[in-house]
C-alpha cells in the first residue's frame, strides 16, 4: 500500500470547531466589529433624534448654499457668493500649502542643524545645540504668536515697504514678489523639467548599479542637478525663451500686481518650520549616531573624506532609524497648522469655525475637519512608509 505522505504535503483543513483557535478568533473579530458598528449606529441615531427634537437642522445640504463671507488669502479665486464647499476647498488648499512648504523648510533646516550638532567645531555645535534647546522647549502656539507680533511690529507700513531686491516688497501687508506671465512656452519648459528629472533619476540608478558592481564611486548630486538644469533650459529655449514677468508695483496705499503672501502665512509657516526643525535635528543626530562606529572606521580606512562618509556610509544607514520618527514630525506639523486660527490665517479650521457660526452645523463641520486631517495624515504616512521601504537596507 502506497504511503500517502509520499504524494506530497498533506492539506491542512480548517476546523470549524469551537476548540479551534482560528475559528474562535474569527468569531471574536465578527463580534467586535458588530459591537462597534452598533455603537456608531446608536450614537448617530441618538444625535440626529436629539437635534430634530430641539429643532436644530442637520445634514450637509448647507454646502451648496452661498457662503456669504470673504476669504482674505486663497490660492483659488473666491468671493462671498460662492458655496460653502468651495470655502472649505480654499481652507484645504491653504492648509496643504503651509504643510508642504513647512515640511520642506523644516527638513532642510533640521537636517543641517542635526549634522551641525556632530561637527568638530565647538562654536557650530554650541549654536546648533542652543537652537534645539530653545525652540524645542517653547510651546508652538507661543512661537506662532511671537512671529506674528514681530512681523507686525518690525515691518514698515505698506507705503514704506522694504525693497530687498528688484520687484520684491516686504511690509506689514505681506511679501510681494514677481511671478511669470503664463505663455504657451512655459509648457515646454515644464516638459523639459520633467525630462531632466527623469534623466537625472536614470543617471542616479546607473551610478548606484555601477557602485554596487565595481565599488567605483561616481559623483551624483552635481551631475544630476546639471542634467535637470539643462532640461529646463532646453525646454525654455524651445518655448521661445519667455521672460515676461508680472512685477509688483508700490503705490501710496498698497502694492499691486505680482504674487504675494500675507504676514499670517509667513508667521505660520516660519513658526511651524522652525519649531519642527528642532525635533528633526535631534532625529537626524540620533540616527547618525546609531550607525555602528566600525562603519565609520571602515570608511576612514578606505580614505573617504568626512563629507563622503556622511553621504555614502552614515546617512544611507541612518535613514532606517530616521524615517519613522521623521514621519511623526511631518504629521505633527500638518496637524499643528490648525493653530492658524490664533493668528487669523484662513486655514481649514478657521473657515470651519466661520461656517459653524453662520449655519449652526457643528457636527457636520467637525466631521469635515476630522475627515480631512485623517486623510492628510494617512496619505502622508503611506508616502513615508513607501519611502521607508525604498530606503531600507536590503541584505544580499
What pLDDT sits at residue 396?
55
What is the gyration radius of the CA atoms in the chain, in angstroms? 28
- pLDDT class of 161 with cuts at 50, 70, 90: confident
From the list 221, 274, 225, the residue with the least C-alpha distance to 103 is: 274
Mean pLDDT across the stretch 151-162?
85
Q: Is there a contact between 177 and 167 (Cβ–Cβ < 8 Å)?
A: yes
Of 119-133, 194-208, 306-320, 321-335, the least confident: 306-320
What pLDDT sits at residue 32?
93
From the list 98, 376, 138, 107, the residue with the least C-alpha distance to 264 is: 98
Checking if the pLDDT of 163 tops 90, the result is no
What pLDDT sits at residue 395?
57
CATH, range 84-181+244-391: 1.10.3720.10
b/e per residue, 248-265, with b = 16+ CB within 10 A? bebeeebbebbebebbbb
Q: Which residue has the cell 525654455?
A: 236
**Does pTM surpass 0.85?**
no
Of 223-237, 292-306, 316-330, the least confident: 292-306
- The H-assigned helical ranges of 256-361 are 263-289, 293-301, 306-309, 315-336, 348-359
**Residue predicted with more confidence, 26 or 2:** 26
- 107-133: pLDDT as tens digits: 999 999 999 998 889 999 999 999 999
Checking if the pLDDT of 272 tops 90, the result is yes
Mean pLDDT across the stretch 256-277?
91
What pLDDT sits at residue 1?
46
Average pLDDT of the chain, as a whole number: 85
**Residue predicted with more confidence, 369 or 256:** 369
**Residue predicted with more confidence, 210 or 36:** 36
Q: Is there a contact between 346 and 97 (Cβ–Cβ < 8 Å)?
A: no
- The H-assigned helical ranges of the chain are 21-53, 84-116, 122-136, 140-154, 185-214, 221-238, 263-289, 293-301, 306-309, 315-336, 348-359, 362-391
Show the cell assigned to 262.
500675507
What pLDDT sits at residue 204?
86
- 276-302: pLDDT as tens digits: 999 999 999 998 888 888 777 787 777
- 29-38: pLDDT as tens digits: 999 999 999 9
What pLDDT sits at residue 301?
78
From the list 97, 341, 343, the residue with the least C-alpha distance to 352 is: 341
Checking if the pLDDT of 269 tops 70, the result is yes
| Residue 237 CB contacts under 8 Å (≥ 6 apart), including other chains | none
Angle among Cα 280, 286, 287 to the nearest 5 degrees reads 85
Checking if the pLDDT of 11 tops 60, the result is no
- 237-249: pLDDT as tens digits: 888 888 878 888 8
Of 31-35, 63-67, 186-190, 247-251, the least confident: 247-251
Whole-angstrom Cα distance, residue 182 to residue 166? 20
Whole-angstrom Cα distance, residue 142 to residue 144? 5
Amino acid at each position: 500500500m502506497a504511503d500517502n505522505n509520499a504524494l506530497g504535503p498533506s492539506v491542512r483543513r480548517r476546523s470549524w470547531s469551537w476548540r479551534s483557535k482560528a475559528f474562535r478568533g474569527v468569531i471574536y473579530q465578527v463580534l467586535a466589529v458588530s459591537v462597534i458598528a452598533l455603537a456608531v449606529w446608536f450614537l448617530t441615531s441618538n444625535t440626529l433624534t436629539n437635534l430634530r427634537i430641539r429643532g436644530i437642522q442637520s445634514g450637509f445640504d448647507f454646502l451648496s448654499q452661498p457662503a456669504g463671507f470673504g476669504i482674505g488669502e486663497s490660492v483659488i479665486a473666491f468671493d462671498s457668493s460662492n458655496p460653502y464647499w468651495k470655502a472649505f476647498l480654499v481652507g484645504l488648499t491653504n492648509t496643504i500649502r503651509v504643510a508642504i512648504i513647512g515640511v520642506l523648510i523644516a527638513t532642510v533646516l533640521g537636517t543641517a542643524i542635526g549634522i551641525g550638532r556632530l561637527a568638530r567645531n565647538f562654536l557650530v555645535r554650541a549654536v546648533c545645540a542652543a537652537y534645539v534647546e530653545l525652540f524645542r522647549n517653547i510651546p508652538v502656539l507661543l512661537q506662532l504668536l511671537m512671529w506674528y507680533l514681530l512681523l507686525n511690529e518690525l515691518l514698515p507700513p505698506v507705503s514704506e515697504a522694504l525693497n530687498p531686491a528688484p520687484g520684491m516688497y516686504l511690509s506689514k501687508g505681506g511679501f510681494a514678489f514677481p511671478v511669470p506671465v503664463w505663455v504657451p512656452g512655459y509648457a515646454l519648459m515644464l516638459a523639459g523639467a520633467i525630462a531632466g528629472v527623469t534623466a537625472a533619476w536614470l543617471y542616479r540608478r546607473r551610478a548606484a548599479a555601477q557602485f554596487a558592481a565595481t565599488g567605483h564611486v561616481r559623483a551624483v548630486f552635481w551631475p544630476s542637478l546639471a542634467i535637470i538644469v539643462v532640461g529646463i533650459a532646453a525646454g525654455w529655449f524651445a518655448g521661445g525663451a519667455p521672460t515676461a514677468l508680472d512685477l509688483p508695483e508700490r503705490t501710496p496705499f498698497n502694492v499691486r500686481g505680482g504674487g504675494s503672501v500675507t504676514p499670517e502665512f509667513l508667521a505660520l509657516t516660519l513658526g511651524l518650520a522652525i519649531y519642527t526643525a528642532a525635533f528633526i535635528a535631534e532625529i537626524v543626530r540620533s540616527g547618525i549616531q546609531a550607525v555602528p562606529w566600525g562603519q565609520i572606521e571602515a570608511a576612514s580606512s578606505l580614505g573617504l573624506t568626512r563629507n563622503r562618509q556622511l553621504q555614502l556610509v552614515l546617512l544611507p544607514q541612518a535613514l532606517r532609524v530616521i524615517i519613522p520618527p521623521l514621519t511623526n514630525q511631518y504629521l505633527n506639523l500638518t496637524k499643528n497648522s490648525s493653530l492658524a486660527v490664533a493668528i487669523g490665517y484662513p486655514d481649514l479650521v478657521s473657515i470651519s469655525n466661520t461656517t459653524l457660526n453662520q449655519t449652526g452645523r457643528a457636527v457636520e463641520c467637525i466631521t469635515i475637519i476630522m475627515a480631512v486631517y485623517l486623510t492628510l495624515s494617512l496619505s502622508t504616512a503611506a508616502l513615508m512608509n513607501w519611502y521607508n521601504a525604498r530606503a531600507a537596507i536590503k541584505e544580499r
